[in-house]
A and B are shown apart, each in its own frame.
Chain A
Amino acid sequence: MQTYDLAADGLRGLNATLQAQSDETNQTEWTIVNPRGSHAIAVGLDAPIEVKVMGSTGYYCAGMNKQATVHVHGSAGPGVAENMMSGTVVIDGDASQYAGATGHGGTLVIKGNASSRCGISMKGIDIVVHGNVGHMSAFMAQSGNLVVCGDAGDALGDSIYEARLFVRGSVKSLGADCIEKEMRPEHIELLRDLLARGGCDAKPEEFKRYGSARQLYNFKVDNAY
């Protein structure tokens, strides 16, 4: 296992080192100590490595991640795993705004709560939040799955496209064009898999599904307000 002291050795060296790992690397386990809320930790990775961050992170931790597994043993600042393409990102604590924003793939697990705009403009990522999510989560969400084991704030799924939202608790309000949808057997199976991947023991049957009413897909005057 490799250990990198971020406070001592700096961000550029860290990201350059991690980004230099290839598919064939035998240095597959990395531990980052003293993150101290730094921004842009472990961004742009593209190798099947495991990175543990021993503390909380600032903005954009694991941004644009591919293949790697990044585990934050703390809380994450805004935009964690933004635009993730593949791999897995796990946050032991809470996540700030825009968690998983525009993510194209991979899995983001937040064991605490996520703030506003979780999964904004998501494009294929799967997000599992053990706690609650804030307002405007899944805004303009295009595809992928957002699982909320707690409650969702205002305007969930506003202007949503084809993403699927699963919420176990209450939803304060639904956004424009977001509606509750039937939970069919295939959704139960999908959710079971997502919960398992997210390390969550909740039962799929306890959730409600939300998605697009598809009434905003083509502009017509009745949609203007």
Chain B
Amino acid sequence: MTVKDNKENAPPRTVPIQSATFSNPINAEIRRAAATGIYDIRGGGAKRRVPHFDDLLFLGASISRYPLEGYRERCDTKVTLGTRFAKKPIELDIPITIAGMSFGALSGPAKEALGRGASEAGTSTTTGDGGMTPEERGHSTKLVYQYLPSRYGMNPDDLRKADAIEVVVGQGAKPGGGGMLLGQKISDRVAEMRNLPKGIDQRSACRHPDWTGPDDLEIKILELREITAWEKPIYVKVGGTRPYYDTALAVKAGADVVVLDGMQGGTAATQDVFIEHVGLPTLACIRPAVQALQDLGVHREVQLIVSGGIRTGADVAKAMALGADAVAIGTAALIALGDNDPKWEAEYQKLGTTTGAYDDWHEGLDPAGITTQDPVLQARLDPVDAGRRLRNYLNVMTLEAQTIARACGHNNLHNLEPEDLCALTMEAAAMARVPLAGTEWWPGKTGAGF
């Protein structure tokens, strides 16, 4: 018998099967952890698949509803934030704002571009951990000043220059966690603004230094209002974990606006395990928060801004249909500026990654010049061009949301409502509390039938 005969007569072998539990990415992470002894740090938000706006569909008008003409009939997009207590509420042309991102995490030109793009589109941008830079104040017609646990760069002059103040309790990428800016990004200017030695790994505290709990927060908000003559809208930003209670407590503490950030919301840097395993999907946050506002009789009086994975006008419309007054974008805005652009693929390859997957924002080596303090890299970003791209993107999202609203028969984005939606999955139906497509039912709903 020859060797060939042996092979031909051998019984069929089992096809190699990869484990769903011990997948190649999981195994690679085990090997990386075993080799280095340290957890993985990265930027961005949750990458895992979670129920999201993609799992919802709009029910356009037909006989039972009357649509508006798609191009010409009026569909208002303006939103006013801070109507509850502030003497000077913020009026925005569109309900899409730019989320807080720090100078330090982002380059100066990137912050300038965010200000330019947002201003041209008639909306606001937001500072981050590290204080307010003259560039972003100068290029932002509406600037929200974040009040964070670290209080880096915090001072009463900038507080008064702001158009609104956002007390940051948490963010969706890492609710319960503090900030992190690794030494590579602590340049001379960043170090000076944060009053820290250059090159150290900078930690921002996970809780505020001078208040704990909602009763204290109420007094803290009083202080901020007293310092700013009750002019500025006060936002309270929370990461999505217990949205009903956190929203209710923010209202109790005196917030004008609640900002609710789901787990797809990005961060400049934190542990991967934190990003992927702590917090709620954005979709799961909205209805409980709106319920809290309704139960307290302040829905629309206290505005709700939703963020975390907003990418398209459809996402905007869906968030608003579920009860949000506005949305905020962070990661999407960076992509509009030029983050993860295929033109840098060769450089992403050198960094061991690829277009669309680059998330080592903490290392300060961003080929696109956005998440870096390297003067050579950041010079690659033209803030005027990048700002124009952001403006275009914001305009497109607005047009898309208007298109959907008109198709549903609404002459104002704020008239979108849950009844305009259905869900493609049981999970999305349960979270959004809208019917599973083709039914009148969602999990938890009592009663049935058309």
Q: Which residues from chain B contact A79 at a C-beta distance below 8 Å?
A: 210-211
The verdict on B216 contacting chain A, using a C-beta distance below 8 Å, is yes
A16 CA / B151 CA spacing, docked (Å): 24
Q: Nearest Cβ distance between residue A158 and chain B, in whole angstroms?
A: 11
Min C-beta distance of A102 to chain B, whole Å = 4
| Closest B residue to A80 using CB positions | B210
The residues of B that contact A220 with a CB separation of less than 8 Å are 38
**Interface check A101, CB cutoff 8 A:** yes
In the complex with contacts A11-B226, A218-B201, A221-B38, A104-B209 CB distance below 8 A: no
A71 within 8 A of B: no
With A83-B151, A142-B195 known as contacts, the answer to whether A101 contacts B209 (CB < 8 A) is yes
Separation of A16 and B230 alpha carbons in the complex (Å): 10
Tell me the complex Cα distance, A58–B151, Å.
Answer: 21
A98 contacts B209, CB within 8 Å?
yes
- Asked whether B50 is an interface residue with its Cβ less than 8 Å from the other chain, the reply is no
| A41-52 interface bits toward B, Cβ cutoff 8 Å, 1 = contact, 0 = none | 001101000000
Asked if residues B151 and A219 are in contact (CB atoms below 8 Å), the reply is no
**Which residues does chain B contribute within 8 Å of A128, judged by CB atoms?**
none
Chain B residue total in the interface (Cβ 8 A): 32
Tell me which residues across on chain B come within 8 A of A63, comparing CB atoms: 223, 227
Query: Which residues in B have their C-beta under 8 angstroms from that of A98?
Result: 209-210
Within 8 A of B (CB), among A184-225: 217-221, 224
A123 touches B183 (CB 8 A): no
> With A64-B227, A221-B38 given, is the CB distance from A59 to B209 under 8 Å?
no
Contact A161 B223 (CB under 8 A): no
B222 contacts A40, C-beta separation under 8 Å: yes
A140 at the interface (CB under 8 A from B): yes
In the assembled complex, the Cα of A78 lies from the Cα of B201 at a distance in Å of 30
Residues of B within 8 A of A162 (CB): 196-197
Report which of B151, B156, B216 forms a contact with A44, defined as CB distance below 8 A.
Answer: B156
Complex alpha-carbon distance, A121 and B154, angstroms: 12
**Contact in complex: A120, B37 (CB < 8 Å):** no
Give the interface size bracket for A toward B: 35 or more
In whole angstroms, how far apart are the Cα atoms of A120 and B223 in the complex? 18
Q: Is B229 an interface residue (CB 8 A)?
A: yes
Is B124's beta carbon under 8 Å from chain A?
Answer: no
Question: Please, which residue of chain B has its CB at the minimum distance from the CB of A102?
Answer: B151
Cross-chain contact of B155 among A15, A39, A83 (Cβ < 8 A): A83
Residues of B within 8 A of A82 (CB): 209-210
Contact of A117 among B155, B209, B229 (CB under 8 A): B209
The answer to whether A44 and B219 have CB atoms under 8 Å apart is no
Are B230 and A12 in contact, CB atoms less than 8 angstroms apart? yes
B230 surroundings in chain A (CB, below 8 A): 12
Please tell me if the beta carbons of B223 and A40 are within 8 angstroms of each other in the complex: yes
Residues of chain B within 8 A of A166, CB atoms compared: none
A58, B220: Cα distance in complex, Å: 11
Q: Which residues of B contact A85 (CB under 8 A)?
A: 155-156
Q: Are B226 and A59 in contact (CB under 8 A)?
A: no
Chain B residues near A121 (CB-CB < 8 A): 150-151, 205, 209
Question: B159 on the interface (CB 8 Å rule)?
Answer: yes
Q: What residues of chain A lie closer than 8 Å to B372, measured between beta carbons?
A: none
- CB contact list, A23-62 vs B, under 8 A: 39-40, 43-44, 46, 58-60
CB neighbours of B154 from chain A (8 A): 83, 102, 104
By a CB distance below 8 angstroms, the chain A residues around B228 are 44
* Residue B203 interfacial (CB < 8 Å): yes
Q: Is the interface of B mostly helix, strand, loop or mixed?
A: loop
**Which residues of chain B are within 8 angstroms of A43 by Cβ–Cβ distance?**
223, 226-227
Provide the residues of chain A in CB contact with B203, threshold 8 Å: 140, 159
Q: Find out whether the CB atom of B209 lies under 8 angstroms from the CB atom of A120.
A: yes
The answer to the question of B200 belonging to the interface, with a C-beta cut-off of 8 Å to chain A, is yes
CA–CA, A44 to B38, complex, Å? 44
**Contact among A40, A46, A101, A217 with B197 in the assembled complex (CB-CB below 8 Å):** A217
Mask for B129-164, Cβ within 8 A of A = 1, else 0? 000000000000000000000110011100100000
**What's the Cα separation between A126 and B205 when bound, in Å?**
21
Complex-state Cα separation, A21 to B211, whole angstroms:
29
With a cutoff of 8 Å between Cβ atoms, the chain A residues found around residue B150 in the complex are 121
Taken together as a complex, chains A and B put the C-alpha atoms of A83 and B417 apart, in Å, by 43
Q: Which residues of A contact B183 (CB under 8 A)?
A: 217-218
Instruction: Pick the most buried of A44, A117, A218, A220: most chain B CB atoms within 10 A of its CB.
Output: A44
Within 53-102 of A, Cβ neighbours of B (below 8 Å) are at 58-60, 63-64, 66, 78-79, 82-83, 85, 97-98, 101-102
- In the docked arrangement, what's the CA distance between A176 and B59, Å? 58
Does chain B have a CB within 8 A of A124? Answer: yes
- B197: chain A residues at CB < 8 Å are 161-162, 217
Tell me if A143 counts as interface (CB < 8 A to partner B): yes
Residue of B nearest to A39 (CB): B219
Say if the beta carbon of A170 comes within 8 Å of chain B. Answer: no
Distance between Cα atoms of A82 and B124 in the complex (Å): 28
Interchain nearest-CB distance for A153 vs B (Å): 17
Q: CB-CB < 8 A to B222: which residues of A?
A: 39-40
**In the complex, what distance in Å separates the CA atom of A202 from the CA atom of B219?**
36
Task: Please give me the 9 A-B residue pairs with the lowest Cβ-Cβ distance, nearest first.
Answer: A44-B227, A79-B210, A98-B210, A102-B151, A217-B200, A101-B210, A64-B156, A40-B223, A120-B209
Interface residues of A, Cβ cutoff 8 Å to B:
11-12, 15-16, 19, 39-40, 43-44, 46, 58-60, 63-64, 66, 78-79, 82-83, 85, 97-98, 101-102, 104, 117, 120-121, 123-124, 139-140, 142-143, 159, 161-162, 217-221, 224
B-side residues, CB < 8 A to A, are 36-38, 150-151, 154-156, 159, 182-183, 195-197, 199-201, 203, 205, 209-211, 216, 219-220, 222-223, 226-230
Q: Can you add 13 more A-B contacts, CB < 8 Å, to A15-B227, A217-B201?
A: A19-B227, A39-B219, A39-B223, A43-B223, A44-B227, A63-B223, A64-B155, A66-B156, A85-B155, A117-B209, A142-B196, A161-B200, A224-B38
18 contacts between A and B (CB under 8 A): A39-B222, A44-B228, A46-B156, A59-B216, A59-B223, A64-B159, A83-B151, A83-B156, A98-B209, A98-B210, A102-B151, A102-B209, A104-B195, A120-B209, A161-B200, A162-B197, A217-B183, A220-B38
